[in-house]
Amino acid sequence: MSELPPDLPRLRTVVTYLRGGLGRAERALNTAEEREALAAQRRPPAEPPAWLIERGIGAGRLPVRVHAGGCWDSRKRCTPIDTDQARRALAEGIPACPRCRPDTAPTPPRHRPQDAGVNGRRHGGGMPPALRFVVYPRMPRAGAVPASTGRSSAAPSVPATSSNSCAAPS
């Protein structure tokens, strides 16, 4: 036997009641999803790993290189490892990345003071460390006269004329 009433007016009443309950449940679900999305935005991003190991292609996927965590040359085949595993891999003869040089870094590159630029801020944005802080000689400004010529650097004087060619005829 059915739990629903058999007559039409009472069935309509039950449907109206259930639609109202469904609406309340959907609104509660939407507010809970919005609250979760806001909480996810407020969470700080996960810190990148300090060390990575790059694996080769194929069934065995043997280690190919060891990278520091902030290496710009790391690829998709890299997996995070801890400091002890990185040291062990380097000691076992797995080559170090020639770009980030984890074999010479006591700590990951993002913590080393030599990677800091002006006022402690990082510079480079993906450039190899060897090319980050190249100092180029200053170029002379346009119109500047070299000091060795002995000429004056003052602007040439223009003779003043008594007639004004822009004046309206009288």
pLDDT tens digits along 40-57 = 888 887 787 888 999 888
* Rounded distance between C-alpha atoms, residue 85 and residue 21, angstroms: 56
* Rounded distance between C-alpha atoms, residue 85 and residue 51, angstroms: 9
The DSSP element (H or E) to which 84 belongs, if any, is helix 83-91
The strand ranges marked E within 73-168 are: 78-81
pLDDT for the residue numbered 161: 54
pLDDT tens digits along 11-36 = 999 999 999 999 999 999 999 999 99
- Residues 50-78, buried b or exposed e (16+ Cβ, 10 A)? bbbbbbeeeeeeebbbbbbbbbeebeeeb
pLDDT tens digits along 101-158 = 887 765 544 444 444 444 444 444 455 555 555 555 566 666 666 655 555 555 555 5
Counting every residue written for the chain, the total comes to: 170
Burial class, 129, CB count within 10 angstroms (exposed 0-12 / middle 13-18 / buried 19+) = middle
Q: Model pTM?
A: 0.39
pLDDT for the residue numbered 83: 87
Beta bridge partners of residue 155, listed in sequence order? none
Residue type, 76: K
pLDDT at 80 over 80: yes
